[in-house]
Structure 1
């Protein structure tokens, strides 16, 4: 059961990595690419947190705290990208 879940998580991460590569190579607009790549990074981080770190069965408080941390991290990265575009 756990092995199947980890295999599925690995497959999800592989697909998200391919989507990230495709977005960065094929999409024309920088804003769209940056937003999509950051969104895909957040999705990959969530898969890693839930499946590889074993937080799927953790109390909701821990999952919420780490999800908030991940969201804040991606938000700060988005602000850095926006600031870079303005300067």
Structure 2
């Protein structure tokens, strides 16, 4: 079961990486690309946390703390992108 779950997670990460590459190459709007890439990064981070770090069956507190950390990290990256767009 674990091996199947890891294989599915790997395929999910591969698909998200391809989607990130496609978005950065094909979409015209810079702000749209930045937002989409950050959203895809958040999805990849969540998949890594749940499946590769083994938090899928961990207590809800740990999952919540690491999800909050990931959300904060993505928010700071979004803020950096927004500041870069203003300068």
Does TM, scored on the shorter chain, surpass 0.5? yes
Segments of 5+ residues of structure 2 without an aligned counterpart are none
Partner residue in 1 for 2:21: 21
C-alpha separation between the residues in 2 aligned to 1:64 and 1:84? 30
Gaps of 5+ in 1: none
Partner of residue 46, structure 2: 46
Q: What value does the CA root-mean-square deviation take over the aligned residues? A: 0.2
Instruction: Give, in angstroms, the shift of residue 8 of structure 1.
Output: 0.1
TM-score (norm 1): 1.00
Counterpart CA distance in 2 for 1:24 and 1:34 is 8
Count of residue pairs brought into register by the alignment: 87
TM-score normalised over the length of structure 2: 1.00
Structure 1's consecutive aligned runs of 4 or more residues displaced over 3 angstroms after TM superposition are none
